[in-house]
């Protein structure tokens, strides 16, 4: 076979090949986003398993001595902010799908603020705990939950922020202020990425309901 590649510029592509690559890229973003949620589910499931395993074992009657509780108002505040960020991300994604970039950006940046405040509260909550990390099984799993929630909020907020930052640079490809759906390749890829990001936030909101109930309510 003859060597026809220009190594500095990549392969020469026919329009059909470009179309194939584009579909593959969009499919990768779509399936990658869902697979990432699958991975994250197993991570959070480890925490849920640990919680119920230690709770049911109640070794030395030390699962939750002295009725330890994390501060409820922090828990609700963090969760509501997470839900708000998720709703804003999903709303923004739907507006973007209709071609309204400005709505996406306003909703998105508000979501970033919600995510950052939730992150701040989750870290600050360590100052307000009435128990030591190793005081009980509950306290340990709570610290594990807090660390994982910090990780979740960092990932979600980073993902939201980077899509917004990208949208500012892609303004022209996305269609500018015109409320019409751009069919530019970069715009299609971008929308696929935003959809995956919004799904992840939705996942955090739904998973957060279970975790908040476990650690603050039950």
* 2/40 Cα distance (integer angstroms): 45
Q: Which is nearer to other proteins, 83 or 119 (CB)?
A: 119
Q: Which residues contact 130 (CB under 8 A, 6 or more apart)?
A: 68, 69, 71
Q: Verify binding: residue 54, other proteins, rule CB under 8 A.
A: yes
Q: Which of residues 80-119 bind other proteins (CB under 8 A)?
A: none
Give least dist CB 45 to other proteins, A: 8
For residue 80, what are its two tokens? Answer: 């509501």
Would you say how long the chain is, in residues? 218
Residue 215 per-residue DSSP state = I
CB of 93 to other proteins, least distance (A): 18
Question: Should residue 66 be labelled a site residue for other proteins when binding is judged by CB under 8 A?
Answer: no
Cβ proximity to other proteins: between 82 and 167 the closer is 167
3-state DSSP percent of the chain in helix, strand and coil, to 5: 80, 0, 20
Closest distance of CB 55 from other proteins, Å: 9
Question: Which residues, numbered 129-188, are part of the site for other proteins (CB under 8 A)?
Answer: 132-141, 143-144, 147-148, 158, 161-162, 165-170, 173, 183-186, 188
State the Cα–Cα distance between residues 199 and 196, nearest whole angstrom. 5
């Amino acid at each position: 076979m003859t060597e026809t590649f220009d190594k500095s510029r990549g392969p020469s592509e026919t329009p059909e090949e470009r179309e194939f690559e584009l579909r593959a890229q969009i499919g990768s973003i779509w399936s990658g986003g869902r697979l990432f949620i699958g991975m994250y589910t197993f991570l959070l499931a480890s925490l849920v398993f640990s919680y119920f395993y230690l709770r049911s074992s109640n070794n030395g009657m030390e699962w939750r001595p002295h009725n330890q509780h994390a501060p409820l108002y922090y828990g609700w505040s963090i969760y509501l902010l997470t839900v708000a960020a998720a709703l804003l991300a999903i709303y923004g994604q739907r507006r973007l799908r209709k071609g309204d970039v400005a709505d996406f950006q306003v909703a998105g940046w508000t979501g970033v603020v919600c995510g950052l405040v939730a992150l701040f509260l989750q870290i600050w909550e360590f100052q307000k705990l009435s128990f030591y990390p190793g005081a009980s099984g509950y306290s340990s799993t709570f610290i594990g939950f807090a660390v994982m929630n910090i990780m979740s909020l960092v990932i979600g907020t980073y993902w939201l922020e980077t899509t917004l930052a990208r949208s500012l640079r892609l303004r022209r490809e996305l269609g500018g202020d015109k409320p019409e759906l751009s069919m530019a390749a970069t715009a299609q890829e971008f929308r696929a990425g935003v959809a995956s990001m919004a799904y992840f936030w939705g996942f955090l909101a739904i998973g957060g309901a279970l975790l908040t109930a476990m650690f603050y309510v039950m």
